[in-house]
Amino acid sequence: MASQNNRQRLRDINNTGFGPNSGVEGGRLINTDGSTNLTKTGIPIWERTSVYHTLLRMKRSHFLIFIFIAYTSVNLFFALIYFATGVEHLIGADTSPTYFGKFLEAFFFSSQTLTTVGYGRVAPSGILTNVIASAESLAGILIFALMTGLIYGRFARPRAYLLFSPNIIIAPFKDGKALMLRTATYKNNHLTDVEAQLTLAMHVQEQGKTVTRFYPLKMEFAKINSLALSWTMVHPIDEESPLYNFTKEDVEESKMEVIVIVKAFDDHFSNIVQQRTSYTYKQVIYGAKFLPMFERAYDGSHTILELDKINAHEMVELPEQVLA
């Protein structure tokens, strides 16, 4: 096949961080959220997991659920201790005839002590109960200090806030065709000096085994001064492209993956931000072109960027390329 001959004469790269013997037939190297599709083994999970990084990258809903579960669990732990030592040592507590009522009194006293609220209705009595309450107060100070730091870290962590088109397309380009994807910022941040890098991962058969070859994809523009609107990244499929003379069937059979890395300067954070994503062969639309996603406002005073149209496209005919 001409495309195989073209790939053979092109120089692949091995500085992607992934080895050529990855053997990920049918899988992907990078997830859509930019994380590596990788599971590490060989050491205990508590040694290979950073709790801080996990909590920073956790989804907002999961993070809130984690805080609720952690807060409830600590209160349940100390409530059980108060209950075991005797609720009668809590002065002012309602003496309920049921165990459940007594446990509720211990639980709510624990929550007041942990948060250092202290309404004054219930107070510990005796050395043992006061020692437990003091230990819980200290734990509360430490826990809330950690939670405050985590919340601030999640809020202040620089992020690119880039929205990528769910699909990558092969569209007409000049006298040939090109591989294209589109991105835009979906927050009110502003990125300058935006650079992009596209890498093609292709799983091929060599000497009876599956190996992964990586090829840098040359872009029409690899850097733009400002990402005010959307940016359509274009890789011309010419004689220097590993995708030269690929048909729709070749794309589907190649098991290819396009890794995207975008780096930019955020003038609000005064910091470099980066975001990654990838597209597998299943996300490639062969023979399409993107539709405009911005227009002028009715009064002509500003431009409207329609983020819900980032993947808007229409099917088109592609020009035929001469086989080598």
**pLDDT per position as a tens digit, 151-189:** 998 888 888 999 999 999 999 998 889 999 999 999 988
For residue range 60-100, what is the model confidence (pLDDT) as tens digits? 899 999 999 999 999 999 999 988 888 888 887 777 778 88
Q: What percent of the chain has pLDDT over 90?
A: 42
Number of domains in the chain: 2
Q: Could you tell me if residue 213 is inside a domain?
A: yes
> Residue 51 burial (CB < 10 Å; 0-12/13-18/19+)?
exposed
* 82 and 8 in a common domain: no
Structural domain containing residue 143: 47-156
CB atoms within 10 A of CB 189: 18
* 210 and 146 in a common domain: no
Residue 158's pLDDT is what? 86
Identify the band that residue 118 occupies on the pLDDT scale cut at 50, 70 and 90. Answer: confident
> Residue 304 burial (CB < 10 Å; 0-12/13-18/19+)?
exposed
Angle (deg, nearest 10), helices 60-85 and 127-156? 180
User: What is the C-alpha separation between 294 and 310, in angstroms, rounded?
Assistant: 10
Q: What's the N-to-C CA distance of the chain in angstroms?
A: 9
Q: Is the pLDDT confidence value at 25 over 70?
A: no
Q: What is the pTM of this model?
A: 0.79
Question: Which of 134, 156, 178 is the last residue in one of the domains?
Answer: 156
Do residues 180 and 241 make contact, with C-beta atoms less than 8 angstroms apart?
A: no
Question: Which of 156, 180, 211 is the last residue in one of the domains?
Answer: 156
What are residue 185's DSSP bridge partners? Answer: 162
Average pLDDT over the chain reads: 85
* 189 and 143 in a common domain: no
* 294 and 281 in a common domain: yes
Identify the band that residue 42 occupies on the pLDDT scale cut at 50, 70 and 90. Answer: confident
Identify the band that residue 253 occupies on the pLDDT scale cut at 50, 70 and 90. Answer: confident
User: What is the C-alpha separation between 242 and 199, in angstroms, rounded?
Assistant: 11
Q: Residues 251-265, buried b or exposed e (16+ Cβ, 10 A)?
A: beebbbbbbbbbbbe
Residue 2's pLDDT is what? 47
Q: What percent of the chain has pLDDT over 70?
A: 90
The CATH code of the domain that includes 192 is: 2.60.40.1400
Residue with token string 């011309």: 236
Q: Which of 167-171, 196-200, 250-254, 264-268 has the lowest mean pLDDT?
A: 250-254
* 287 and 266 in a common domain: yes
Residue 324's pLDDT is what? 38
Q: Could you tell me if residue 324 is inside a domain?
A: no
The CATH code of the domain that includes 66 is: 1.10.287.70
